[in-house]
Amino acid sequence: MVFDLDGLLLDSESAWDEGRRALVAEHGLPWPDGATRAMMGMSAPEWSAYVRDELGVPLEPPAISDSVVAHVLRGYDQRLPLLPGAEAAVARIAARWPVAVASSSNREVIDRVMAASGWGETFRVWVSSEEVPRGKPAPDVYLEALRRLGAEPGDAAGIEDSHNGILSARAAGLRVIAVPNREFPPGPEALGAADVVLESLDALVPGVVDG
């Protein structure tokens, strides 16, 4: 079982969005319509390059990424924004199957979440899309998580909330369970690619995974 992180287990999509918006505003630049959705699922190298090339921030991508990560981590140091039902859902699924995380967050951020939540003792593997060639909706981060678990896509399921995340898990060949993000809901194409669509994490039980 491979979980996404941001927007599924953590109420953090807005934290990343705020960090990027703040950086753009610091340079006196506008935030164009569609920028938030365009960057959802991108790896750190991808979205930081987008902020430079498409939004015009005059910094190199590593500096852009570092600035936004620092913003996110400051918020996490004050309070880890676990979504309702996240801890119970992870516990239910981990009691039955090996679990991993395949996330678009930077590795540094995932490591901080695992330490602060105690999930470092639960998840066997966590992979950042900055560790693979392409971010979501490409399948790379899911395939790498499965490789480290020693599992095949046909024997695994991915749990996702976002448009690009759902498409990523589908492209990797996993059974796809969608728990749509209410703030940034996936579109019809992604929902149609999911095997199961749940209203909340409370509905994520072993029977749903088994189908």
* 13-41 pLDDT, tens digit each: 888 999 999 999 999 999 999 999 899 88
pLDDT for 13 equals 80
Residue 184 has pLDDT above 90, yes or no: no
Digit-coded pLDDT (tens) for 146-177: 999 999 999 999 999 999 999 999 999 999 99
pLDDT digits (tens, 9 = 90+) for 57-91: 999 999 999 999 999 998 888 889 999 999 999 99
Question: What average pLDDT does range 4-9 have in this prediction?
Answer: 95
Provide the pLDDT confidence category of residue 94 given band limits of 50, 70 and 90.
Answer: very high
**5 Rama sector, left if φ>0, alpha if ψ -120 to 50, beta otherwise:** alpha
Show the beta-strand stretches assigned E in the chain.
Answer: 2-3, 100-103, 125-128, 157-160, 175-178, 196-197
Mean residue pLDDT of the chain comes to 95
The alpha carbon dihedral of 153, 194, 33, 79 has a sign of negative
What's the whole-number mean pLDDT along residues 106-131? 95
Confidence class for position 211, pLDDT limits 50, 70, 90: confident
- Distance CA(87)–CA(60), nearest Å, equals 37
User: Does residue 125 have a pLDDT over 90?
Assistant: yes
Structural domains of the chain ordered from first start: 2-10+82-210 (3.40.50.1000), 13-78 (1.10.150)
Q: Is the pLDDT of residue 140 over 80?
A: yes
